[in-house]
Every structure is written in C-alpha cells, then in structure tokens.
Amino acid sequence: MTGAGTFGYEPNPAVLTELRGLRDRIPQLTGTLVASGDGLLIAHALPPNIEPTGMAALAASLLALSYRMGTTAHGGGFREVVVHGTAGYVVVYAASWTALTVLAGPEVNVGRLHLESRPVAGAIADHLAAATKDLRNNEAPNTD
C-alpha cells in the first residue's frame, strides 16, 4: 500500500487500514484514494500509472460539482457519484470534509461495492475527525 499524505506527513494509519480492508473485501478494486474537499491528498492505494495528487484534485472537483448538482436539483446533501466508463467504475463517496474515491474494474458488483464502501467512508470520516480533534487538543496555547 502506498499512501503518502499531504506535505510529507504520514497518512493516518486507521484510514490506511480501512482502505486495505476494503480492497481485501472487494478484489475487483483497482485503487482507492482519500482526499480533502479542496483536493489535498490524504491517503491512497493507487496503481503506479495514476498520479495520486492529480487524482485527488480530480476527486475534489467531482465532489464539488456533484454536491452542487445534488443541492440544485433536490436541495439535499451529497452522498456519492458513480462514473461508469468502458474500462470500469470510479465512485466518489462523501466522507465529511473528505471524499473516498474507489476505482473498480468493469466486472465489479456495484451493489456490493456500495454495501462495502459506504460504511468505510463513514469510518474514514470518523477517524479523521478524531485525528483532527487530537491535533487541536495538542496544540500549544497562543500566549501572544
């Protein structure tokens, strides 16, 4: 598993565990990625032919566009978007302020993909929220 985080930081181990588990449960996955809503790479397990930071930016763009489409059309929040291409699927799942992007081959069972990926997106959101809270709690107080 690759997984370089942003700015040279190590990716969250719990997020990487979630990505590994998802790939173990769905062998037709060809890659996974977690990116922030503004396109910063958080963690990934992508094949070598896909550049992670570029894919993170694309995922964030698709997330923003899909959110806008959903709120304009139905007034509700965004959950996921499925891109079905001739060579497979790209699915972006909302995960709080981040997005889980899953790449799968054309033979994947999309129902099972959703069944497995939706809870992983929620778990990733929880792990990152806890990590963010821990970072805030460990910051030195401003004495200026």
Q: How far apart are CA 92 and CA 19, in angstroms?
A: 14
Pick from 29-43, 76-90, 123-137: least confident: 123-137
At 134 the pLDDT is 58
Of the two residues 129 and 104, the one the predictor is more confident about is 104
pTM of the model: 0.85
In the chain, what percentage of residues exceed pLDDT 70? 86
| pLDDT winner (highest mean) among 59-73, 104-118, 129-143 | 104-118
For 100, other C-beta atoms within 10 Å of its C-beta total 29
Supply the pLDDT for residue 85.
Answer: 96
- CA–CA dist 78, 67 (Å, integer): 5
Residue 5 has pLDDT above 50, yes or no: no
Q: Is the pLDDT of residue 23 over 80?
A: yes
Say what the pLDDT of residue 137 is: 64
Closest CA to 16 of 26, 7, 3: 3
Closest CA to 42 of 52, 34, 50, 53: 34
CATH of 13-130, one of 3.40.50.1970, 3.30.450.30, 2.130.10.10, 3.40.50.720: 3.30.450.30
Per-residue model confidence (pLDDT) at position 51: 96
Close Cβ partners of 109 (under 8 Å, ≥ 6 residues apart) = 28
